[in-house]
């Protein structure tokens, strides 16, 4: 069963249902928040979610590529932290200029992803094990640079970080949102209009079938982990704009937030099915949960994790149900 009947002869493809559910959940949360809290139902609230979670969105884009192939990347949070430490340490004092530091950081993140992807493919090791090792390696490298938070005081870097881009009706965004939007658009083009994108979906759908079709499964696996490493490094740069510091404890647990955003967005953990629009919606849902809790004011921040956990259970169950119906 590849479609879902809506009655009246109308149907929608089953693969779109999780994304639609996520979109409906976001709208319902936004409407409920607007009813309960004064000043909640405004465009700036949505923009603030993007501003506060631009770095997570970028990391989640890279994670989407990996999960679509049926893999997992547990190293992304540590690579984000390492990126902030490298950037902050190199720009300390007279330091290096940002236009040299940022490309270097992106190169380091991409190289780490490339190495992990090569190990996964060449030695046929489970991605969980390789990226777990990468997680410990990157987090350990943070503490070889320094154990304390390193402030970023470079004038060019801080000026960019504090820039506001004014929109209509007194609304505004930060440059980080523009960076995240560009990443999403480029990634969507790659996934849906390039050979790499088709190979990513085919590899996640059935690796054996992809091999029989002559698709470069090995190169695809290496590519998606390289992309994830690049996105993690870029997410680290954007987090540096947000925090104006580098710290080895930045982004602890971000790999779980990224996975949660991708899954809540409707991408199957087994690979082969999912959309970047769903990932964007997943990040928005996570960000809106935090916003609701901040407006409530009386609930612990740990309720964010509780709600995310319940949503994950619900969406994994939804995926299982629709997978079973599709096979039937």
Predicted local confidence at residue 325, as pLDDT: 57
Nearest one of 110, 71, 65, 93 to 237, comparing CA atoms: 110
How confident is the model at residue 86, as a pLDDT? 97
pLDDT at 204: 95
Task: Flag the least confident range among 75-89, 218-232, 292-306, 313-327.
Answer: 313-327
Over residues 244-270, the mean pLDDT reads: 93
Q: Residue range 107-126: average pLDDT? A: 97
Please count the structural domains in the chain. 1
Nearest CA to 206 out of 266, 270, 126, 278 is that of 270
C-alpha span between 209 and 271 (Å, rounded): 14
Confidence of residue 275 (pLDDT cuts 50, 70, 90): very high
DSSP string for 214-230: T--HHHHHHHHHHHHHH
Q: Is residue 129 part of a domain?
A: yes
Judge whether 149 lies within some domain: yes
Does some domain include residue 240?
yes
Whose structure tokens read 């809506």?
6
User: Is residue 106 domain-resident?
Assistant: yes
- Per-residue pLDDT band for 12 (boundaries 50, 70, 90) equals confident
**What is the Cα–Cα distance from 276 to 181, expressed in whole angstroms?**
11
Q: Is the pLDDT of residue 41 over 60?
A: yes
Residue 127 sits in which domain range? 50-297
**Opening angle at CA 107, ends 105 and 108, nearest 5:** 65
Render pLDDT for 47-74 as a digit per residue (tens, 0 to 9).
Answer: 999 999 999 999 999 999 999 999 999 9
The two structure tokens encoding residue 155: 């004038």
**Residue 236 domain flag:** yes
Closest CA to 113 of 216, 261, 223, 270: 223
Confidence of residue 1 (pLDDT cuts 50, 70, 90): very low
The closest alpha carbon to 86, from 224, 247, 305, 227, belongs to 247
Residue 252's CATH number: 1.10.3470
Three-state SS at 13: strand
- Residue range 2-14: mean pLDDT, rounded: 62
Q: Look up the pTM and report it.
A: 0.94
- Would you place residue 6 in the very low, low, confident or very high pLDDT band (cuts 50, 70, 90)? low
Share of the chain above pLDDT 90, in %: 73
CA distance 200 to 81: 27
Within a domain: residue 318? no
Torsion of CA 197, 231, 16, 206, to 10 degrees: 50
SS percent in the chain: helix, strand, coil, step 5 = 70, 5, 25
> How many C-beta atoms lie closer than 10 Å to residue 105's C-beta?
24
Question: pLDDT category, 10, cuts 50, 70, 90?
Answer: low
Least confident range of 100-109, 126-135, 236-245, 267-276:
267-276
Token pair of 143 as six digits: 């503490």
Comparing CA positions, the residue from 319, 116, 298 lying closest to residue 221 is 116
Strands in the chain per DSSP E: 3-7, 10-13, 150-151, 165-166, 172-173, 245-246
pLDDT over 50 at 2, yes or no:
yes
The whole-angstrom separation of Cα 291 and Cα 53 is 11
Residue ranges in 267-301 assigned as alpha helix (H)? 276-296
Name the more confident of 272 and 304: 272
Confidence band, pLDDT 50/70/90 cuts, at residue 7: low
- Predicted confidence (pLDDT) at residue 3 exceeds the cutoff of 90: no
Look up residue 243 and give its two tokens. 């925090």
The answer to whether residue 265 sits within a structural domain is yes
Q: What is the pLDDT of residues 70-112, one digit of tens each?
A: 999 999 999 999 999 999 999 987 889 999 999 999 999 999 9
- 211 located within any domain: yes
């Amino acid at each position: 069963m590849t479609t879902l009947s809506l009655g009246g002869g109308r149907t929608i493809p089953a693969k779109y249902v999780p994304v639609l559910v996520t979109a409906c959940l976001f709208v319902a949360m936004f409407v409920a928040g607007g009813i309960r809290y004064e000043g909640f139902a405004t465009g700036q609230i949505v923009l603030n979610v993007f501003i506060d979670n631009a770095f997570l969105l970028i990391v989640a884009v890279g994670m989407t590529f990996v999960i679509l192939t049926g893999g997992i990347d547990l190293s992304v949070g540590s690579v984000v932290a390492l990126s902030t430490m490298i950037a902050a340490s190199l720009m300390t004092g007279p330091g290096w200029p940002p236009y040299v530091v940022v490309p270097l950081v992106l190169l380091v993140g991409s190289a780490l992803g490339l190495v992990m992807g090569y190990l996964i493919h060449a030695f046929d090791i489970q991605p969980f094990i390789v990226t777990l090792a990468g997680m410990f390696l990157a987090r350990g490298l943070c503490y070889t640079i320094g154990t304390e938070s390193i402030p970023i005081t470079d004038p060019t870097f801080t000026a960019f970080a504090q820039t506001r881009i004014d929109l209509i009706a007194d609304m505004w965004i930060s440059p980080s949102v523009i960076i995240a939007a560009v990443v999403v658009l480029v990634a969507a083009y790659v996934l849906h209009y390039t050979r790499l994108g088709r190979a990513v979906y085919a590899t996640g759908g059935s690796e054996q079938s992809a091999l029989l079709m002559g698709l470069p499964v090995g190169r695809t696996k290496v590519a998606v982990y390289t992309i994830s490493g690049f996105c993690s490094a870029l997410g680290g740069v954007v987090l540096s704009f947000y925090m104006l510091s580098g710290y080895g404890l930045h982004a602890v647990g971000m790999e779980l937030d990224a996975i949660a955003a991708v899954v809540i967005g409707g991408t199957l953990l087994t690979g082969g099915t999912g959309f970047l629009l769903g990932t964007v919606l997943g990040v928005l849902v996570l960000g809106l949960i935090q916003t609701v809790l901040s407006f409530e004011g009386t609930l612990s921040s740990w309720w964010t994790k509780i709600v995310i956990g319940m949503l994950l259970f619900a969406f994994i169950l939804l995926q299982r149900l629709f997978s079973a119906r599709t096979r039937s």
